[in-house]
Chains A and B, each alone.
Chain A
Amino acid sequence: MKYICLGYMNEEVWETLSESERQTFMDDCFGYDDELRQNGHYAGGEGLQEARNAATLRWRGGKVSVTDGPFAESKEQIGGIMILEATDLNHAIRLLSKHPSLRLGRGGNSWEIRPAFDLTGFIEDSKRRRE
């Protein structure tokens, strides 16, 4: 089963890390990502640019409105996403508990684990309606 892991980070806390701390952070994190890849648990992922580079679209007054910034203003913003392949929630928790970002992030990093929603049935139904 796939678990989508949203990696939250506090950019202010990140700013307080020294250059060598950041290097250790990245080396350990990328190293662990490689380990997940080798064991077949890494099913995809991307890093995200800072939240200030975000644009948010909404439906307002009958048209699309575009605003600057992330969906919710908060100290903690999504810094990356990862798709884990795990047998169950405990397995996903176990895999992610070892992610070095938690240990090295000075309390500014957290992971939200969201079980993937299987849309296959909805897509099939929808295809039939559209035919």
Chain B
Amino acid sequence: MPNIPEHIPQLVGEIYRTRSRLVFATLIRLLKDFDLAEDAMHDAFKAALEQWGEKGIPSNPLAWLVSTGRFKAIDRIRRESRFDSLEQQQIWQTEATPPDASRLIDKAIEDDMLRLIFTCCHPALSLDARTAMTMREVCDLTTEAIASAFLVTPSTMAQRIVRAKAKIREAKIPFEVPMEHELPDRLGAVLQVIYLVFNEGYYASSGESVTRVDLSSEAIRLGRLLHVLLPDSEVTGLLGLMLLHESRRPARTSSKGNIILLEDQDRSRWDRDMIEEGLTLVERAFLSKPPGPYTLQAAIAALHAEAVRPEATDWAQITRLYSRLLNINPSPIIELNRAIAIAMHKGPEAGLQQIDAILERGDLSDYHLAHSARAELYRKLGRTNQARASWERALALAQQDPERRFIQRKLGELGS
């Protein structure tokens, strides 16, 4: 007999690790309920452990897991049924959709994964809820792990997920991929979640450590998954953007955990493989006209990655890209970044004018990086008193320990 029982737990474990989310996604479509699908998925894997040794490994393990999970769910509904109308209806719906083997080919399973992503990222859910649902249901992180990554208590995170599922069920948010004309907007809601997760890992918003590797790599994993399922140019652009940022991680902090600015980083420590992959993706994304906001940001990151020395950076081109980004997406933060690019291109005085104009409007006056940028430009101009005042303002506003240490170091360097 070719199927040696000892190999079964290993095989089932392997399928669980790599494909269980696909089984889960298809079960949600068949059963129309997240919790029921989760239980059914676990029942199916348990049954595989018990039965594959004796009966042999099925020719299509995923199809077997889906149809077994579905039957287990019907059993479960029958067992727990209080014969009220809703559950009766559920049984009826479940039995009315027999598992059709042709629906279980790879393409259909991929569609279910996309349905899962778009349902978890529905714009009727808050950004917090969308993020929690995506981390829990698509990435399969535990509620505890998500809670600790986002610095909230496990019970807060659990409640967020329960409420999101209740809204999906009660408001009847369907398990479907949006229609083509809705896609740009709906995709935006998905990309926003992925980039938020990435940034939460890359610039942890408070606390001791600057980087939390897990969230950034989860976001990249999610980006890769979406890129396979839906190769839209903005998905390509976002994946490129994340890889180009991530490539700098080894050079971003000193061994003591202190921040190292882009211009002071040891560029030989940047991850070349990630840069190569990122650059290829950005080039491909840029072919779509007009490039979207993630593609433009990725193009800016690409220009930094391509500069072998800080002085070799093409600041004129970066300024132009920021201007295009501002046209699509007016935001004072992008304006601040453009101001810094202008300072690098045309000198500190020109940059200061731009930053002061933003601050005078009342935008960003509580944003520590605006004051840090101003301080650095004053320092370059030799206006030490104004530099000190700006660093002190930045210090009063900065929340994160490494950033505070960085500002204190800069204040120290100014002398008294």
**Which residues of A are at the interface with B, using a C-beta cutoff of 8 A?**
1, 87-91, 93-94, 115
State the main secondary structure of chain A at its contact with B: helix
Q: Which residues of A contact B178 (CB under 8 A)?
A: 90
Q: Could you tell me if A90 and B171 are in contact, using CB atoms closer than 8 angstroms?
A: no
Contact with A along B163-186 (1 / 0, CB 8 A): 000000011111010110010000
Q: Give the distance in Å from the alpha carbon of A74 to the alpha carbon of B178 in the complex.
A: 34
B390 to chain A, nearest CB (A): 38
Q: Could you tell me if A90 and B174 are in contact, using CB atoms closer than 8 angstroms?
A: yes
**Extra A-B contacts (10), CB below 8 Å, given A87-B172, A88-B173, A89-B173:** A1-B172, A88-B174, A89-B172, A90-B173, A90-B174, A90-B178, A91-B174, A94-B179, A115-B170, A115-B172
Q: Which residues of B contact A94 (CB under 8 A)?
A: 179, 182
Q: Which residues of A contact B122 (CB under 8 A)?
A: 89
A3 to chain B, nearest CB (A): 9
A105 to chain B, nearest CB (A): 19
A99 to chain B, nearest CB (A): 16
Q: Give the distance in Å from the alpha carbon of A80 to the alpha carbon of B97 in the complex.
A: 40
Does chain A have a CB within 8 A of B124?
yes
A95 to chain B, nearest CB (A): 13
Number of interface residues of B (CB under 8 A): 11
Q: Could you tell me if A90 and B176 are in contact, using CB atoms closer than 8 angstroms?
A: yes
Q: Could you tell me if B171 and A89 are in contact, using CB atoms closer than 8 angstroms?
A: yes
Q: Which residues of B contact A87 (CB under 8 A)?
A: 172, 174
Q: Give the distance in Å from the alpha carbon of A89 to the alpha carbon of B170 in the complex.
A: 10
Q: Give the distance in Å from the alpha carbon of A91 to the alpha carbon of B178 in the complex.
A: 11
Q: Can you report 18 residue pairs joining A to B where beta carbons are below 8 Å apart?
A: A87-B174, A88-B172, A88-B173, A88-B174, A89-B122, A89-B124, A89-B171, A89-B173, A89-B174, A90-B173, A90-B176, A90-B178, A91-B174, A93-B124, A94-B179, A94-B182, A115-B170, A115-B172
Determine the residue in chain B with the shortest Cβ distance to A86: B172
Determine the residue in chain A with the shortest Cβ distance to B123: A93
Q: Which residues of A contact B171 (CB under 8 A)?
A: 89, 115
Q: Which residues of B contact A93 (CB under 8 A)?
A: 124
A107 to chain B, nearest CB (A): 16
Q: Which residues of A contact B179 (CB under 8 A)?
A: 94
Determine the residue in chain B with the shortest Cβ distance to A97: B182
Q: Which of B114-132 touch A at CB < 8 Å?
A: 122, 124
Contact with A along B192-228 (1 / 0, CB 8 A): 0000000000000000000000000000000000000
Q: Which residues of B contact A90 (CB under 8 A)?
A: 173-174, 176, 178
B163 to chain A, nearest CB (A): 15
Determine the residue in chain B with the shortest Cβ distance to A114: B171
Determine the residue in chain B with the shortest Cβ distance to A91: B174
Q: Give the distance in Å from the alpha carbon of A93 to the alpha carbon of B182 in the complex.
A: 11
Most buried by A among B122, B124, B172, B176: B172
Determine the residue in chain B with the shortest Cβ distance to A121: B84
Q: Which residues of A contact B174 (CB under 8 A)?
A: 87-91
Determine the residue in chain B with the shortest Cβ distance to A90: B174
B353 to chain A, nearest CB (A): 33
Determine the residue in chain A with the shortest Cβ distance to B175: A88
